[in-house]
Amino acid sequence: MKKPVVDEELCIGCGVCAEICPDVFEIIDEKSHVIGPQGCANCDCEEAEASCPVDAIELVEQ
Ligand code: SF4
């Protein structure tokens, strides 16, 4: 199972990832934070990764 990592330097806080996977990503201080890396089992983290407008999300092997 892969887990998402957010590059906070790139993130613009648009909220798309948190809309797709609210149990995984949360916007705090205008940056996305991974609050539930195991939550990808219940949502489509690959869609979140693909939907990020600045390509700030990476899925890495645990
Ligand atoms: S989709 Fe990308 S830019 Fe938007 S909040 Fe998530 S990580 Fe940040």
From the list 26, 28, 7, the residue with the least C-alpha distance to 16 is: 26
Where in the sequence is the domain holding 49, given as residue range(s)? 2-61
Reported as a single tens digit per residue, the pLDDT across 5-55 is 999 999 999 999 999 999 999 999 999 999 998 999 999 999 999 999 999
Tell me what pLDDT residue 48 has: 98
Whether 2 has a pLDDT exceeding 90, the answer reads no
Total domains in the chain come to 1
| Ligand 1 within 6 A of CB of 43 | no
Tell me what pLDDT residue 1 has: 78
Classify the phi-psi angles of 27: left when phi > 0, otherwise alpha if psi is within -120 to 50, otherwise beta: beta
Atom 3 (ligand 1) nearest CA? 11
| Ligand 1 within 6 A of CB of 12 | yes
Place of tokens 């957010």: 6
CATH code, 41: 3.30.70.20
| Ligand 1 within 6 A of CB of 5 | no
